[in-house]
Amino acid sequence: PARKRSSYDMITLTTWLLKQEQEGVIDNEMTIVLSSISTACKQIASLVQRAPISNLTGVQGATNVQGEDQKKLDVISNEVFSNCLRWSGRTGVIASEEEDVPVAVEESYSGNYIVVFDPLDGSSNIDAAVSTGSIFGIYSPSDECHIGDDVQLDEVTQMCIVNVCQPGSNLLAAGYCMYSSSVIFVLTIGTGVYVFTLDPMYGEFVLTQEKVQIPKSGKIYSFNEGNYALWDDKLKKYMDSLKEPGTSGKPYSARYIGSLVGDFHRTMLYGGIYGYPSDQKSKNGKLRLLYECAPMSFIAEQAGGKGSDGHQRVLDIMPTEVHQRVPLYVGSVEEVEKVEKFLSSE
């Protein structure tokens, strides 16, 4: 039987990363970038958990490029994430939900990774202490330009946009940190999905699950049904079908946390589907391709699940702008294929 590990001989994220480097799965620079991201997540976890004490709930009083009222913690998490990546010295360009345009990192002196991130996901939950998260994806530099050349921007910004506008299929690594009853760091470097739990006793992420497999099906659906009236008729038919007891005699259960990271993590472990469809108001849905849909779809596929925009694989979508939105259906293979079937029916 597997040796029961006490919490002091469990594998820490640091040890696990060094092992991947030793085995040549990742290089030294990637090891350092991932370690700096985990440090940013630990700092954000402590800021989130003490938000009401340190007067960090509520709004910043500014709106971001998405047109959203930024929370104070949106702004601070963005600074924490950006600084940790800068000081890693191995990051070339960063793109964030909270930055209008991608930013070149002058401090990089070896390795030149491109990091896209959502520093605080589900930030509408923060004032009620409901789960939030951070999401990230890592690319190699790229010079293949797919963006319209009518974009009137300076040379450096143009280069940065070219570097971040890569299809999710180019992702080298992706992950998220969920700030919930436990602080959970989930990571894939292309060899399956690994789960680490923060042990507050000594401030390290310890390996608690390896090679996670999403159940092939699951009777949990996670959509904001407040938008039902605005949905396409085919989607309404799909949604209605989940409520019929069917042969099993039991309909699906609805679970919606309002944080992609929380809803995705439950979907990955329990099975089912999370969706943020397009609707009459938002033609491309709400979630952003670069730092929400693509990283989560990469993780889903690495766990044997699927990530679709309703018609195609999210990882095949070629981004044309940094903050572009796409509809997202992600989770158990059978559940994602079921909604795709409804959406493509005559």
Residue with Cβ nearer Mn ion (121 or 204)? 121
Binding partner of residue 258 among ligand AHG, Mn ion, none, CB cut-off 5 to 8 Å per kind: ligand AHG
Residue from 17, 72, 117, 118 binding ligand AHG (CB under 6 A): 118
Residue with Cβ nearer ligand AHG (258 or 304)? 258
Binding partner of residue 222 among Mn ion, ligand AHG, none, CB cut-off 5 to 8 Å per kind: none
Pick the piece of the chain touching ligand AHG (CB under 6 A) from 21-29, 122-130, 159-167, 307-315: 122-130
Label the pairing between strands 306-308 and 328-331: antiparallel
Site string for ligand AHG, 230-269 (x = CB under 6 A): ----------------------------xxx--x------
Between CA 219 and CA 224, with CA 223 as vertex, the angle to 5 degrees is 145
Distances (CA, A) of 281 to 66, 105, 133, 321, 328: 15, 36, 26, 20, 16
Residue with Cβ nearer ligand AHG (286 or 306)? 286
Task: Give the span between the Cα atoms of 258 and 282, in whole angstroms.
Answer: 17
Residue with Cβ nearer ligand AHG (57 or 112)? 57
The amino acid sitting at 190 is G
Residue from 123, 180, 197, 308 binding ligand AHG (CB under 6 A): 123
Binding partner of residue 286 among ligand AHG, Mn ion, none, CB cut-off 5 to 8 Å per kind: ligand AHG
Phi then psi dihedrals of residue 216, to 5 deg: -65, -30
Give me the least distance between CB of 56 and ligand AHG, in Å please. 15
Residue with Cβ nearer ligand AHG (32 or 51)? 51
Give me the least distance between CB of 213 and ligand AHG, in Å please. 23
Give me the least distance between CB of 24 and ligand AHG, in Å please. 35
Token pair listed for 141: 């530099």
Residue 108 contacts ligand AHG per CB under 6 A: no
Angle, to 10 degrees, between the axis of helix 13-22 and the axis of helix 28-49? 170
Task: Give the span between the Cα atoms of 132 and 114, in whole angstroms.
Answer: 24
Task: Give the span between the Cα atoms of 200 and 227, in whole angstroms.
Answer: 39
Helices (H), the chain: 13-22, 28-49, 72-88, 155-164, 233-242, 260-270, 294-302, 333-344
Q: What sign results for the dihedral spanned by CA atoms 102, 108, 111, 117?
A: negative
Residues 74-103 that bind ligand AHG (CB under 6 A): 97
Give me the least distance between CB of 95 and ligand AHG, in Å please. 14
Q: What is the DSSP string of 173-228?
A: EEEEEEESSSEEEEEESSS-EEEEEEETTTTEEEEEE-S----S--SEEE--GGGG
Give me the least distance between CB of 278 and ligand AHG, in Å please. 13
Contacts to ligand AHG by CB under 6 A: 68, 97, 118, 121-124, 224, 258-260, 263, 286
